[in-house]
Chains A and B, each alone.
Chain A
């Protein structure tokens, strides 16, 4: 294809879970590099399969862009030698000098160069700058040194441009590029020579490599749906599992196997988690979403009897283990597991999980809350959670139900990790919401109390996420705070920590509230789509009041609506004007505000004195809009910085009272 560049980095198997992200990163990185080199191109498209990342660049011009830049030389009036040197080094004549801002300048144009001369560099930089989350290097036997970093060893690199084979040497991995690639590891595995992208994709398909990742994902999804509908079942939706399976095969083949009847008594979550985590099998469900005694597997080669037997056998072994854990665990009561939590460290400075549970209990009000809290962490010590950590909470709930706990209790145990981030679902019940709230708040209080706060991208204890979850719970329809304030819960937890002899800052409460509020602003902005300015303003109106996140959201939304009114501009204008005056003013004392000398200032004062103290934010807005007009008028007609100290002080006092009103009632400055 004319002016088409194709690059393929062929490596050992790329982890399946990383492929979706790598696909995006590859396109972004390549575009960035091409632009840096001044290359001119139409589109960049990236492809990924287990053993390769490929990139196609359409219509890449053979020359890079001409580069125009302006170079600054000596000062005007500098000695002649300096000027001559500047001209000589840039190969220019005196009449090309431009004089500006007291300096000489030259227009330098660098002509575009042949793109082919940049390919080696381009590929090396692509390898070097690729943002893999974890990398390795390997030994280059011929060079007797270590390679550049990549996700797994690179075994060959293909490069063609404009129907031409590009042979360049990539030093950091000791590979000469060629037009050779390889197909499916087992269904092909002979070298394949390619001409251009179209040829590349076609030949790979012939050799059982589906290059288009998204197409492969879709193919698995629709094929699975087709096969399963034939037996009256459907796959349980699981996007991660779908993508992981796509990343594990070059070309998907399918198999539906059956689960031995003797395991069907195991809880649904245990069955589906065993299948998903250990085997990457899909759970199949009936229309009423009850679990069907089948599993769906995606394979890298066509199914045969040997493979089918193997898949069944390995699942039987896995489920036998799960059954063994279930039996062993349910022989012991959850209460007994809960007692052992005093052996499980929460954090070396924050005591054990048993202590965490005790602190959470200090917040509980109802019988169900008490019971749920006492049992909610017990499953951490069960064998089942040891095997499947992602089932924490769920296993606890199953076992609680098994030992005939109240529904409210086991629902709360199941859901008390939710929401685990700002996008996760809320728990289903209020008890669960409250237990979850206590749990997360306890974590925040503890870590912030010992001075561990997230810095930059480092947040090893996921405190930002805990804060988001806490906020989401408080702002939900559940009344997680009951009749108390957020401060009450934080203070109670601080006291519990101290009573347990755990050293945390006595005055941590303010810092914790501050941290939550900062996260709250981001939350309101990103999740509720309220402008940062309005959220910030609404928060400010609570400076002297007990913080109430739900009220703040309400007010922020109102402010956002009001900010579209023309009066908003007037208020801002008045603020700006007054703030300018106050900043330039000398120190002043608040004195007799009655000694003023203009009618306009008098009006402002009277309005201020008559403002109500408990109006709604809309009423305040209306009042302040009127007031702002008065203030603007007063500023026009009054000599604010009067020579008379008393007059000046009175003027300034009134104006600062105006600002104060805006700050406390509307939050905007």
Chain B
């Protein structure tokens, strides 16, 4: 009690902590937590990716023996998941918070739990579980061993010890922690709908929700993905990106080459959403992207 009165700072923190955590607060907190741990805080990859794994800060940097601790927010595009903003928690564009720790430190599970606690998540109020899920990304030739983290039956995070990237074994296996930011926020803000997420923390007329900012984006992109994307042009783009990727590898320009590979992958995802790729062709396209990713990763390792 004495310290409580003596140190007004503690009171202030207590007051601050009971305030609603906004979407942006949660991101700040996670960034701060991991920066304190020793991560470099990077910014998103500026091309369309399906997951933070595709950021070169994950894929390429996971290879090799050098230390690499990084955290960043990555907007993700999954064209097929679009629901014209009508589904409360399925969207074709969403945010991941991605952490890569290479090498994996001792007890990263606990670090993770501390990080969400810092972001305002009440661990004592929920049923959190590590449920087996050996993650695989066939397009990137990446595979790992780990879990989905469940909160009251809902997957909120993917937790993976990488074993392989670009078809190559990780000599120093990193751990990848991928937070589903919207899902975690719905638990922290105690709401049911992604579009209701309070983005800026205001409760007055300046309050902005996820829906205010992204609903129109979601609707228009759903239409684009499913109904209007130009199939012939996309098919052409895919081939172009593939050629360009190969050409750039031949000059040992691995990062630009890798970017072409990622773009090809997004083209494929769009074509898939347009429903023009048959089951047989699908496997073929994935194999082509994987071949590019593999070549990039090999070349990356060879030119270190």
Contact = CB atoms under 8 A, between A and B. Distances in A.
Contacts of A307: 125-127, 152
Interface string B73-114: 000000000000001111000000000000111110100000
A174 to B, nearest CB: 10
Nearest to A302: B127
Contacts of B125: 304, 306-307
Nearest to B124: A186
Interface in B137-163: 145, 147, 151-154, 161, 163
Contacts of B173: 136-139, 146
Interface in A283-336: 297, 299-301, 304, 306-307, 309-311, 313-315, 317, 320-321
A-B CB proximity, top 5 nearest = A310-B152, A15-B132, A139-B103, A343-B278, A13-B130
A422 B154 CA distance: 37
B78 to A, nearest CB: 14
A314 B88 CA distance: 11
Contacts of B126: 301, 306-307, 310
B192 interface: yes
Interface string A249-262: 10000000000000
25 contacts: A12-B130, A13-B130, A16-B131, A136-B161, A136-B173, A141-B105, A152-B145, A186-B123, A186-B128, A248-B129, A249-B129, A297-B153, A306-B190, A307-B152, A310-B126, A310-B154, A310-B187, A311-B153, A313-B192, A314-B152, A314-B154, A320-B87, A343-B279, A345-B283, A381-B279
A345 B279 CA distance: 8
B172 interface: yes
B131 A248 contact: yes
B176 to A, nearest CB: 13
A13 B147 contact: yes
A529 B161 CA distance: 47
A62 B109 CA distance: 39
Nearest to A152: B145
Contacts of A141: 103, 105-106
B243 interface: no
Contacts of A320: 87
Contacts of A153: 104, 161
A155 B107 contact: yes
Interface of A: 12-13, 15-18, 50, 134, 136-139, 141, 146, 152-153, 155, 186, 248-249, 279, 281, 297, 299-301, 304, 306-307, 309-311, 313-315, 317, 320-321, 340, 343-345, 352, 381
The interface centre, meaning the residue of A152, A248, A301, A310 with most chain B CB atoms within 10 A of its CB, is A310
A327 to B, nearest CB: 13
B152 A12 contact: no
B244 interface: no
Contacts of A345: 279-280, 283
B134 interface: yes
Contacts of B106: 141, 155
B109 A12 contact: yes
Nearest to B145: A136
B89 A317 contact: yes
B284 to A, nearest CB: 10
A139 B172 contact: yes
A138 B172 CA distance: 8
A12 to B, nearest CB: 6
Given A299-B127, A301-B127, 10 more contacts: A13-B132, A138-B161, A139-B173, A152-B145, A279-B153, A281-B153, A301-B126, A307-B125, A311-B153, A313-B192
A310 B131 contact: no
A310 B153 contact: yes
Interface of B: 87-90, 103-107, 109, 123-132, 134, 145, 147, 151-154, 161, 163, 172-173, 187, 190, 192, 278-281, 283
B132 A17 contact: yes
A348 to B, nearest CB: 10
B149 to A, nearest CB: 10
The interface centre, meaning the residue of A134, A301, A321, A345 with most chain B CB atoms within 10 A of its CB, is A301
Contacts of B87: 320
Contacts of A50: 130
A153 to B, nearest CB: 7
Contacts of B129: 13, 248-249, 300
Contacts of A17: 132
A300 B127 contact: yes
Contacts of B123: 186
A617 to B, nearest CB: 52
B152 A311 contact: yes
Nearest to A146: B173
A612 B142 CA distance: 70
Contacts of A16: 131-132
A130 to B, nearest CB: 15
Contact of B153 (A139, A155, A315): A315
Contacts of B145: 134, 136, 152
Contacts of B152: 306-307, 309-311, 314
B160 to A, nearest CB: 10
Nearest to B134: A134
Nearest to A298: B127
Contacts of A304: 125
Contacts of B279: 343-345, 381
A495 B131 CA distance: 49
Contacts of B151: 310
A129 B138 CA distance: 30
Contacts of A155: 106-107
B219 to A, nearest CB: 17
A156 B149 CA distance: 22
Contacts of A12: 109, 130
Contacts of A15: 132
Contacts of A321: 90
B272 to A, nearest CB: 12
A339 B113 CA distance: 50
A50 B151 CA distance: 17
A345 B145 CA distance: 29
B165 to A, nearest CB: 14
A306 B190 CA distance: 9
Contacts of B153: 279, 281, 297, 310-311, 314-315
Nearest to B128: A186
A297 B90 CA distance: 24
Contacts of A137: 173
B63 to A, nearest CB: 14
A139 B104 contact: yes
A344 B279 CA distance: 6
A251 to B, nearest CB: 12
The interface centre, meaning the residue of A18, A137, A186 with most chain B CB atoms within 10 A of its CB, is A186
Contacts of A146: 173
B76 to A, nearest CB: 19
A291 B109 CA distance: 39
A279 B129 CA distance: 12
Contacts of A299: 127
Given A279-B153, A310-B152, A138 B127 contact: no
Contacts of A136: 145, 161, 163, 173
